[in-house]
């Protein structure tokens, strides 16, 4: 069966129930996916409620209500089907909308899972949208949230744009007037809210010598081009506001800068997804910044605030989310300084640091990713933090770069294997992965991850650059 057939079957089952519980993940993809499903359910007049979990595990399974409702798992569930089985959930009371690896299970739960259908770059919000559209063809406005979820789960990162069914959803949204697709836009975070020099300085994909991590350098570079960086009333202009000619001048000059340094220019451009109905110069204007806003809500464990924004709240929920976003950035900046000041320990193939209980476990991965661009970028970084809810556990996050991934490195594989060996659990993606391990096995674990990454580097057939 194709993914569309699976989505149609899931939609049919959902509409045949008189009560639904959506259980979703607290990141941007999960929040967007939950909002798509909840809005489709409201429009179909099916009573429903939602539960958000950090991850699905025996402890959080308790939040899944013990009632007659259909349990719709979104952005989770595929990899925890045995937990559903242990809970005694029958095939009739579960559907799974997911994009993670499916766990072999004795019970054949109904799934719409993009990964099972061979689509590696369609997130749960994307699958949720396919289901919502099968529920009612009038749900095309929800395509925006599907794009936000996809971009939030980094589905557009590797190819500098969405591909496959995720891109088809964006096109559908564009045709209905909800999304503006900008081809060959500047591949840079913050195009709707940040002064251009800050936008460029914060970007390291591609890494542009003299500009990346160098706000002063970026400002001087732009001033030399003679483009107007401020409005007459002295407000910094954002990328979105520059004219096509100004944009061309900036991108071609950045390309020259890269060429002069012998770097490829292909990652300078990406396809952007804008939401023209949103207020200008807000993070709601483009998919990347919208996703970050939702992630900030999740990281402060306020996913419902993100959900309210997805449902259209531009008042109190939006202000609260903006506040979380700025706090979020302040704490991440502090963590970044901490990592750089303290220094990492280098092993043969990885570098690592333990931050104790100084920082929330929800942000250490981002901080590590940012620190990496100021450290040895060829060695993946591993960061450990005490798990606040259970101090006998250590939360591990790992980050690397596209360049290292292209050499055959797969952080998910390394963390999954190494954590399982010490009785923990791990998952994620090639470029970014996480795990939980017992605190007493930290040393063994780090050594083992180093060994596994070393083996990946050494695997034959992997080109070195
Ligand atoms: Mn996801």
Q: What is the pLDDT of residue 464?
A: 41
Mean per-residue pLDDT over the chain, rounded: 93
Residue 465, pLDDT above cutoff 50: no
DSSP 220-269: HHHHHHT---B-TTSPBPBGGGS-HHHHHHHHHHHHHHHHHTT---GGGE
* Largest CA-CA distance found in the chain, in angstroms, rounded: 67
The dihedrals phi and psi of 353, each to the nearest 5 degrees, come to: -150, 150
d(CA 22, CA 106): 23
Parallel/antiparallel/unpaired status of strands 381-386 and 393-399: antiparallel
Distance 123 CA to ligand 1 centre (A): 5
Closest CA to 41 of 1, 110, 78, 95: 95
d(CA 400, CA 403): 8
Lookup result for tokens 């009573």: 47
Confidence bin at 262 (pLDDT 50/70/90): confident
Confidence bin at 463 (pLDDT 50/70/90): very low
Q: Which two tokens stand for residue 348?
A: 């043969």
Distance 197 CA to ligand 1 centre (A): 31
Residue 414, pLDDT above cutoff 90: yes
Confidence bin at 403 (pLDDT 50/70/90): confident
d(CA 125, CA 97): 9
Task: Return the percentage of the chain with pLDDT > 90, whole number.
Answer: 80
Distance 180 CA to ligand 1 centre (A): 23
Distance 338 CA to ligand 1 centre (A): 29
Closest CA to 77 of 99, 59, 106, 62: 99
Distance 99 CA to ligand 1 centre (A): 7
Confidence bin at 453 (pLDDT 50/70/90): very high
Distance 116 CA to ligand 1 centre (A): 14
Q: What is the pLDDT of residue 461?
A: 55
CA distances from 105 to 67, 330, 416 (A): 23, 43, 19
| Stronger pLDDT, 384 or 359, i.e. the higher one | 384
Distance 54 CA to ligand 1 centre (A): 12
pTM value surpassing 0.85: no
| Stronger pLDDT, 218 or 460, i.e. the higher one | 218
d(CA 3, CA 6): 5
Q: What is the mean pLDDT of residues 198-226?
A: 89
Confidence bin at 206 (pLDDT 50/70/90): confident
In sequence order, what E strands does 308-443 have?
Answer: 345-346, 351-354, 381-386, 393-399, 425-428, 432-438
CA distances from 385 to 292, 363, 376, 440 (A): 22, 10, 21, 13
Is residue 297 within 8 A of residue 283, CB to CB? The reply is: no
Distance 33 CA to ligand 1 centre (A): 9
Distance 69 CA to ligand 1 centre (A): 23
d(CA 289, CA 190): 6
Give per-residue pLDDT as tens, 219-255: 999 999 999 999 999 999 999 999 999 999 999 999 9
β-pair partners for 98: 113
Distance 98 CA to ligand 1 centre (A): 7
> Is the bond leading into 82 cis (omega within 30 degrees of zero)?
no
Distance 41 CA to ligand 1 centre (A): 20
Give per-residue pLDDT as tens, 97-141: 999 999 999 999 999 999 999 999 999 999 999 999 999 999 999
Distance 130 CA to ligand 1 centre (A): 15
Q: What is the pLDDT of residue 205?
A: 79
Distance 264 CA to ligand 1 centre (A): 30
Distance 246 CA to ligand 1 centre (A): 36
Q: Which residues contact 431 (CB under 8 A, 6 or more apart)?
A: 154, 157, 399, 400, 401, 402, 405, 411
Q: Which residues contact 394 (CB under 8 A, 6 or more apart)?
A: 384, 385, 386, 387, 436, 437, 438, 439, 442
Q: Which two tokens stand for residue 18?
A: 């008189």
What stretch of H or E contains 144? helix 143-152
Distance 19 CA to ligand 1 centre (A): 24
Distance 242 CA to ligand 1 centre (A): 33
Distance 107 CA to ligand 1 centre (A): 23
Q: What is the pLDDT of residue 158?
A: 86
Distance 86 CA to ligand 1 centre (A): 24
Distance 329 CA to ligand 1 centre (A): 22
Confidence bin at 428 (pLDDT 50/70/90): confident
Distance 24 CA to ligand 1 centre (A): 10
Give per-residue pLDDT as tens, 64-104: 999 999 999 999 999 999 999 999 999 999 999 999 999 99
Q: What is the pLDDT of residue 207?
A: 83
Residue 41, pLDDT above cutoff 70: yes
Residue 462, pLDDT above cutoff 60: no
Distance 334 CA to ligand 1 centre (A): 27
Distance 205 CA to ligand 1 centre (A): 22
Q: What is the pLDDT of residue 460?
A: 66
Distance 31 CA to ligand 1 centre (A): 9
Residue 161, pLDDT above cutoff 60: yes
Give per-residue pLDDT as tens, 342-356: 999 999 999 999 999
| Alpha-carbon dihedral sign for residues 376, 380, 386, 392 | negative
Is residue 50 within 8 A of residue 60, CB to CB? The reply is: no
Q: Which two tokens stand for residue 14?
A: 């959902």
Confidence bin at 300 (pLDDT 50/70/90): confident
- Coil, helix or strand at residue 354: strand
Distance 245 CA to ligand 1 centre (A): 37
Distance 431 CA to ligand 1 centre (A): 14
Distance 351 CA to ligand 1 centre (A): 27
Q: What is the mean pLDDT of residues 9-19?
A: 97
Q: What is the pLDDT of residue 54?
A: 86
Q: What is the mean pLDDT of residues 413-442?
A: 92
Distance 149 CA to ligand 1 centre (A): 7
């Amino acid at each position: 069966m194709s993914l569309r057939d699976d989505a149609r079957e899931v939609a049919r089952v959902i509409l045949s129930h008189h009560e639904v519980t959506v259980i979703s993940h607290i990141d941007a993809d999960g929040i967007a996916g939950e909002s798509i499903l909840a809005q489709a359910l409201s429009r179909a007049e099916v009573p429903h409620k939602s539960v958000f979990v950090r991850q699905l595990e025996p402890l959080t399974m308790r939040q899944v209500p013990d009632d007659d409702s259909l349990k719709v798992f979104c952005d989770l569930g595929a990899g925890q089907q045995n937990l559903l089985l242990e809970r005694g959930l029958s095939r009739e009371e579960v559907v799974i909308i997911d994009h993670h690896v499916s766990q072999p299970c004795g019970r054949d739960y109904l799934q719409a899972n993009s990964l099972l259908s061979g689509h590696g770059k369609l997130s749960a919000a994307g699958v949720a949208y396919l289901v919502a559209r099968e529920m009612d063809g009038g749900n095309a406005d929800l395509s925006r949230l599907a794009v936000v979820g996809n971009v939030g789960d980094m589905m557009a990162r590797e190819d500098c744009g969405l591909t496959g069914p995720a891109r088809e959803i964006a096109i559908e949204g564009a045709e209905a007037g909800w999304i503006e697709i900008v081809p060959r836009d500047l591949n840079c975070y913050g195009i709707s809210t940040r002064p251009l020099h800050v936008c460029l300085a914060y970007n390291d994909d591609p890494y542009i010598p003299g500009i990346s991590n160098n706000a002063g350098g970026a400002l001087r570079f732009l001033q030399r081009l003679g483009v107007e960086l401020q409005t007459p009333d002295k407000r910094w202009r954002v990328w979105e506001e520059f004219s096509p000619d100004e944009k061309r001048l900036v991108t071609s000059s950045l390309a020259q800068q890269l060429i002069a340094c012998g770097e490829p220019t292909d990652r300078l451009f990406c396809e952007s997804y804008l939401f023209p109905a949103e207020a200008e110069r807000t993070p709601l204007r483009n998919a990347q910044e919208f996703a970050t806003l939702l992630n900030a809500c999740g990281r402060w464990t306020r996913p419902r605030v993100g959900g309210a924004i997805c449902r259209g709240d531009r008042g109190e929920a939006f202000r609260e989310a903006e506040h979380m976003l700025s706090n979020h950035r302040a704490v991440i900046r502090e963590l970044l300084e901490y990592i750089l000041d303290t220094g990492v320990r280098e092993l043969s193939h990885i570098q690592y640091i333990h931050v104790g209980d100084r920082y929330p476990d929800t942000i250490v991965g981002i901080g590590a990713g940012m620190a990496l661009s100021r450290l040895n970028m060829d060695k993946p970084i591993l960061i450990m933090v005490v798990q606040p809810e259970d101090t006998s556990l250590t939360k591990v996050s790992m980050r690397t770069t596209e360049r290292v991934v292209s050499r055959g490195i797969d952080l998910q594989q390394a963390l999954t294997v190494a954590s399982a060996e010490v009785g923990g659990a791990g998952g994620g993606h090639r470029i970014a992965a996480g795990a939980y391990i017992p605190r007493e096995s930290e040393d063994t674990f780090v050594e083992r991850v180093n060994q596994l990454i070393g083996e990946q580097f050494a695997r034959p057939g992997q080109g070195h650059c």
